[in-house]
Amino acid sequence: MPERRTFRFGFPAEEGYGYAQAVEAGGTLYVSGQVAFDASGAVDRTQEAEAQMRRAYANARAVLAHFGAGPEAVVDELVFLKGGLAGALGWVGRVRKEFYGPRPEVASTIVETPGLAMPEFLVEIKLVAKL
């Protein structure tokens, strides 16, 4: 089994559910779905999906930075959007470009879902990066 490194923010949910924000093995970083948790681990109760997506990407940036990487290391993303994919691609594209730059070079899938881990969450973003 390859050596693994993990990262946790220290949020109560990490201990309660039992997970790491990221696991690095063999030069690949697997980032757990990032959601609208604020810096203390509390749910950011912003009711706007666009703002939640920005928060999720900010959290993802912090996870990547822990491993000495940034958005340019991301090779694959999976975006879950709760209710309402129709009409969302415009703002989703804008927010993604804020994170990745004007021409994202990342494989991406977006999925509409009826629910996420907590009812307040509207967006979740899971990433894979090469270090």
Tokens of 38: 């604020």
Question: Taking the model in full, what pTM does it have?
Answer: 0.94
Distance, in Å, from the CA atom of 129 to the CA atom of 32, rounded to the nearest integer, reads 11
To which residue do tokens 């969302």 refer?
88
Tokens of 125: 């973003």
- Predicted confidence at residue 61, as pLDDT, reads 98
Q: Split the chain (131 residues) into runs of 10 and give each run's mean pLDDT.
A: 90 92 98 93 86 97 98 98 88 97 97 94 97 97
- Predicted confidence at residue 46, as pLDDT, reads 78
Q: Which domains does the chain show, CATH number per domain?
A: 4-130 (3.30.1330.40)
